[in-house]
Every structure is written in structure tokens, then in C-alpha cells.
Chains A and B, each alone.
Chain A
Amino acid sequence: MTETTDATLRETSLAALHRELGARMVPFAGYAMPVQYRDGIMAEHRHTRAAAGLFDVSHMGQAQLRGPDYATVAAALETVTPGDFQNLAPGRMRYSLLMTPEGTIVDDIMVARPAGKAGETGLDIVFNAARVAVDEAFVGTHLPTSVRLELPPHRAMLALQGPKAIDVMLRHAAVGEMRFMDTLATTFDGIPVAVTRSGYTGEDGFEIYLAAADAEAIARTLLAEPEVRPIGLGARDSLRLEAGLPLYGHDIDETTTPVEADLAFAISPRRRAAADFPGAARILDELQNGTRRKRVGLRIDGKLPAREGAAILDDGGAAVGKVTSGGFGPTVDAPVAMGYVDAAHAALGVSVAIDVRGRTLATTVSPMPFVAHRYRRRSAG
């Protein structure tokens, strides 16, 4: 419960603005980041679902993979992921996974193929903040000499999330033609930016990639719009939990596989057929024969939240799993969690219990997301 003023923490280019807005700053992935502003997590969460929330996500790693031609770059990324990047269209992005040769997860990443010239020779990647150094080294060791991974300095990243995000963005940038998982190099009030229609809240919204020097002006412009409030990491976590989205280091890590983590959608049909991705033998076996454990959604009776680390029990009181993320879902208005359970208890509707300080909370294995995604997709499905 103490304020952190650790001098070793890095700051984003919006640090002064956060403080001006009354943010409570906490250490996160080596950065001092706002966990909440004056409104508080509950109000910030609800505002994002009702209107539009502005998040500083400048701590995330923005990388560029560049090479002599697109096919060479796509092939290089495919050696460390199960994604189909050879067939990624210019102007589109994909969720993917960096994977070890054992088929476990090094990081979950977003990969965009820029439209125009940059998309002829490269891909843009967003790494999780806490994994930037690991990812850079890991990808680096797998690249042919003609392909380079670069992390340009002095970058910033903003996320504008919520049903009103589109209305706000249209006043400043020509993003009207964009749909979910599109990427566009454009301008925001004349300032060059890259925009993707994506995010980590389950809501429609945008992520804006820009020079650090331009971030404060654009953030202030967005905050001056009547629909927009600043939102901290606290609400970002409760929003992504309700959206059923895994958080690296909690719900997925180098001990979990995509099949266990219910992320098999990230393994493209082409790569499955070719069995040419990292850990393919194990992963294809898991897809065929199942896994010993599975990441599932957990709805808890009552109001007491279960947190990361809480034991999941069967009706005889034997441990069958563990909570990896949990808390109170402001939109669900109830505690929600995700975690791994033994395959025998992973089916939807199965009754389990979660131990919280000796209390056993009645819990049901439940579908995720807990709050329906409201992405604006280009096509059905």
C-alpha cells in the first residue's frame, strides 16, 4: 500500500501526464505505470465498456522484422511460430505465439503486415513488455543473416478501447474503412502514426503506434474528447480477464502449450498440415489425443474473488488444478477466473470448488469470454 518511487524504473513519454491526471503509479515490467486514475478501477472498467478508454501501453515492445523481400521475412518468422505469415495480406495482422522447440510458449505476440512499401519487406511485431529482451534474443538466434529484428527507440503506443472509440478516432484519422485486425499507416491530426483496429479488452478499439515525442499531444487530444477517460493497468487487467484473454507470465508461459492454453486457433491449418512448426510432433499429438490439463473459464458463486494461485478442487476435495488469473469482473458483477484443470474436469458445466483461505467456493467451468467480444470484423467468424 505504499507509493513506489523506485529510481531504477523506466518511464513512458506520458509519465508527467499520468501524474497530472492523478494516476497511482506502480512498477510493471520495469516501468512505472498507472494502475488507476482518480475514477478508480471499477469506474474505469465500466467506462471503457460504455464509451472509450485511453490506455498508455508504451511499455510494450515494438519490433520490426525486415529483410530482402516479404517471403524471406515471413519464412523467418514461421520458424519460431505456428502462424501462416506467407499468406498474410498487406494491411492485416494476426495473433501468434513464439514457441520453443518443445512446443511451449515463449510469448504471445501481435504481427502486422503493413500495407504499401514496408509490407513488401517486413512485418511489425508487438512483444509483451516483460518479454522484450527474451523475445529479441530468441527470435534473433533463429534468423537468417538477411533478416534483421530491430526495436526502434523513442516509440510510444496508445490504446483507445470501447464502443465509442471509432467515433472519436474518425474526428482525427481516416480509419473508417478499417475492420478488426486491420493495420494502416495514416496520420492523426496530420501527425504520422500506424493504427491497428485491435486491443486487449474484448471491445472494439484501436492501437496507435507513434513517435514518443508525439504521444503526449495525441493523448491530450483524445482525452479532450467527451467520450474518453484515462484508464490504468488495473482496469486493463479486469477487462482482459472478462474477455477471456490470457496474460503472459500468468496464464501462459514456457511450461504451457497452445493446446493446453486453449490457443490452438493460433496454429494455422497450413502449418498443421505441414507439421513444420516448433514442437509440431507434441502439439499435433495433443490436438489428436488431448492434453492432461486445459485452460478453462471459472465462474464463482457469491462475491468472494479467487486470485492467482488458488487451488481448484473436485467434489471430494482433491486438487485438480490452479487459478492463474482471477478477480472481480465489474461488468459480470461477479468474481471470474481462469486456470488450468485436469482434463477430466475441463468440460463446460463441470462443478468444481476453489479454495480461498480455507473457504471452498462453488465454481462452474464456464465458457470464455465472460463478456462477449464486440470486435468489428471484416467478415463473419
Chain B
Amino acid sequence: MTGYTKDHEWIAAGAGEATVGISHYAQDQLGDVVFVELPQVGKKLKKGDVAAVVESVKAASEVYSPITGEVIAVNDTLTGDPALVNRSPEADGWFMRLRVSDPKELDGLMDEAAYKSFVDTI
């Protein structure tokens, strides 16, 4: 299942691992992405830690880890093609894969319908 945070990250979890990226709404708000600073593989992130930084033409924006876990992979394609975040934010433009420390943290996330309603209130 895919969950969303109020900071516009998405997280797709399964089998003790989770993939994290930013939502379609987030990439639209950021505009043209020119650089993505990804975490080191092996880095241990706590829920809410700054996991990545997205640089658009306009500004730098932080991406927070939605859960606690260890980084087990990052999407190196974004280094050469940062605009992939704009083209495919919720699929090919993923940021990182985490080993999930506490599956209960996933319970607090919004599902797609709840996130859509949340975005409509902004």
C-alpha cells in the first residue's frame, strides 16, 4: 500500500522495505527540478529527519523521512536526470528505499483518498 505525509512524501511499503518519493502535488509546487541530493546508502534515518534536498530553479526544499529506517538503496538515475521527479514523481522518480524499523509507523500515514482530500484543502 502507498501512504502519504502532510509534507507531501509518499511511501510504498511491503516485506520490511519501503520506497519513498515526493507526490505529484509536491513536484508541481516545486517546479522544474534541477538537482536532487540523496542520502548515503547505510544512513540511519529517524522519522522526520531530512532525508534528501530537492533543488528547483526557484528554491531548495527538504524531503523528510516518513518513517524510521536504514537507507538500503537510492535512485541514482536522479543524479543524471533530476527532471524525472517532475515527469514521474510517484514511480520512476522515487528517491530511496528504506529497511523499515517499526512497521507501526506506517499506520499513521494518509491513504491516497485522504491525501487527495488534504491537498484539496491547501
A327 to B55, CA, bound (A): 9
Q: Are B34 and A328 in contact (CB under 8 A)?
A: yes
B31 at the binding interface (Cβ < 8 Å) = yes
A331 to B30, CA, bound (A): 19
Q: Are B26 and A1 in contact (CB under 8 A)?
A: yes
Q: Are A304 and B57 in contact (CB under 8 A)?
A: no
Contact residues, A333-360 vs B (CB, 8 A): 335, 357, 359
**B4: shortest Cβ distance to chain A, in Å?**
14
Q: A1-B29, A3-B122, A303-B82 are in contact. Are A41 and B57 (CB under 8 A)?
A: yes
In the complex formed, the residue of B with least CB distance to A1 is B29
**B83: shortest Cβ distance to chain A, in Å?**
9
Which of B30, B35, B61 has the most A CB atoms < 10 Å from its CB? B35
Q: Are A307 and B57 in contact (CB under 8 A)?
A: no
A42 to B83, CA, bound (A): 11
**A225: shortest Cβ distance to chain B, in Å?**
25
B32 at the binding interface (Cβ < 8 Å) = yes
Interface of B is mostly: mixed
Q: Are A234 and B26 in contact (CB under 8 A)?
A: no
| Among B29, B31, B60, B61, contact of A41 (Cβ-Cβ < 8 Å) | B31
The bracket for how many chain A residues form the interface is 20 to 34
Cβ contacts under 8 Å, B8 to chain A: 1
A304 to B61, CA, bound (A): 13
Interface of A is mostly: mixed
A2 at the binding interface (Cβ < 8 Å) = yes
- Binary contact readout B26-44 vs A (1 if CB under 8 angstroms, 0 otherwise): 1001111011010000000
A36 at the binding interface (Cβ < 8 Å) = yes
**B78: shortest Cβ distance to chain A, in Å?**
11
Q: Are B35 and A305 in contact (CB under 8 A)?
A: yes
Q: Are A304 and B32 in contact (CB under 8 A)?
A: no
Cβ contacts under 8 Å, A328 to chain B: 34-35, 55, 57
Q: Are B58 and A234 in contact (CB under 8 A)?
A: yes
B59 at the binding interface (Cβ < 8 Å) = yes
Q: A1-B26, A2-B122, A303-B82 are in contact. Are A36 and B31 (CB under 8 A)?
A: yes
A27 at the binding interface (Cβ < 8 Å) = no
Q: A1-B8, A303-B82 are in contact. Are A238 and B35 (CB under 8 A)?
A: no
Q: Are A307 and B59 in contact (CB under 8 A)?
A: yes
26 residue pairs A–B, Cβ–Cβ below 8 Å: A1-B26, A1-B30, A1-B61, A2-B122, A35-B58, A40-B31, A40-B32, A41-B31, A41-B32, A41-B56, A42-B57, A43-B32, A45-B57, A234-B31, A234-B57, A303-B34, A303-B35, A303-B82, A304-B37, A304-B55, A305-B55, A307-B59, A307-B60, A327-B57, A357-B53, A359-B37
Given A1-B30, A42-B57, A307-B59, 14 extra CB contacts under 8 A? A1-B8, A1-B61, A3-B122, A35-B58, A36-B31, A41-B32, A45-B57, A303-B82, A305-B55, A305-B60, A328-B55, A330-B57, A357-B37, A357-B53
